[in-house]
């Protein structure tokens, strides 16, 4: 039985990847960062928490990374842990640089020192491309426009350096935006689906959003984790763009979500909040997944409309059955 260590198993991607690997008959270990609140909700939601061996670790702490590798003794490591919210990186650039950038270097050093034969998947990001105007592929230049994007460029290039300098099997997945019902509420797609559901059940009247014109290449996270695994099954490591090849605006996502929820025209439901306007933003991100399709045999299964429908219906179902524990009007007898 193969063993895999997922750094950042409690996030959206970590949860879908753990589920995917368990179905491939892997023994799955996953790291989580100690916090003052519960962090296993996603694993519990898809009913795999009891099947994953969890290990406390933090990308800011070299010793805990080494301990996680020693304890799991994995065949494959998936480095998904990061400060991954672009908006937060503007207010916390040092933290983002340490965790997202230097954290990856700590992982690479641990592999080099402990088990150089391990296969590593590193989560790079489409944010590295910034506003480069064309459809992005593996050879497109990096022009990041956020501290998160800058940190990801460092981590990406350092991963390639360790691959070339020390012969580590390290592949980088340059994943474009990938969403799901397990996406965090701080991300605009999930904020839309969640708050649309709240409006439908009259729990609020407005959604606060930022730049509605920004366009992104949105796919389904469950499809994208399969590409991560495929990269580590190749004979040689390489870098791959994982994307759908088409982009849609925040406004399109919002309009479709409102339609699916039966709320009609979205214009009266939205207010623009300056808090959500970034100092720098990317106008349009769209990727070319041709290499992944040709060499990995990968292609997305869920299209844009299906993704929005999946997310909205998930959140509508949640509020349909939601009971406010502080609602004193509920008869509890």
Burial class for 331, CB neighbours closer than 10 Å (0-12, 13-18, 19+)? exposed
* Residues identified as active-site: 125, 127, 148
DSSP element (H, E) containing 53 = strand 53-56
Nearest to 146 by CA among 285, 283, 284, 280: 280
State how far the alpha carbon of 197 is from the alpha carbons of 103, 248, 311, in Å: 37, 21, 10
Beta strands 76-79; 119-125: pairing state: parallel
Using an 8 Å Cβ cutoff, are 175 and 129 in contact? no
Quick one: angle between helices 147-166 and 103-114, nearest 10?
20
């Amino acid at each position: 039985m193969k063993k895999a260590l997922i750094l950042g198993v409690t996030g959206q991607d970590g949860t879908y990847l753990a589920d995917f690997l368990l179905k491939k008959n892997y023994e799955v270990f996953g790291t989580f960062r100690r916090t003052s609140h519960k962090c296993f909700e996603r694993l519990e939601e898809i009913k795999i928490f009891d099947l994953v061996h969890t290990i406390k670790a933090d990308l800011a702490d070299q010793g805990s990374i080494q301990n996680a590798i020693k304890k799991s003794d994995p065949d494959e490591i998936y480095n998904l842990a990061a400060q991954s919210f672009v908006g937060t990186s503007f207010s916390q650039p040092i933290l983002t640089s340490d965790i997202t950038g230097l954290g990856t270097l700590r992982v690479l050093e641990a592999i080099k020192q402990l088990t150089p034969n391990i296969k590593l998947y590193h989560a790079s990001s489409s944010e590295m491309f910034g506003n480069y105007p064309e459809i992005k592929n593996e050879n497109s230049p990096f022009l990041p426009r956020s501290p998160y994007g800058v940190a990801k460029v460092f981590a990406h290039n350092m991963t390639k350096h360790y691959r070339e300098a020390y012969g580590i099997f390290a592949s980088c997945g340059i994943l474009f935006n990938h969403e799901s019902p397990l996406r965090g509420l701080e991300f605009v797609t999930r904020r839309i689906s969640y708050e649309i559901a709240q409006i439908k059940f009259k729990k609020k009247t407005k959604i606060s959003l930022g730049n509605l014109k920004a366009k992104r290449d949105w796919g389904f996270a469950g499809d994208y984790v399969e590409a991560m695994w495929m990269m580590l099954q190749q004979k040689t490591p390489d870098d791959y763009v994982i994307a759908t090849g088409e982009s849609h605006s925040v406004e399109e996502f919002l309009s479709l979500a409102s339609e699916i929820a039966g709320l009609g025209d979205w214009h009266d439901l939205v207010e623009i909040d300056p808090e959500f306007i970034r100092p720098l933003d990317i106008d349009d991100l769209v990727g070319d997944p041709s290499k992944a399709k040709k060499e990995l045999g990968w292609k997305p299964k869920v299209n844009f409309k299906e993704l929005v429908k999946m997310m909205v219906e998930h959140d509508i179902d949640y509020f349909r059955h939601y009971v406010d524990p502080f609602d004193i009007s509920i008869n509890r007898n």
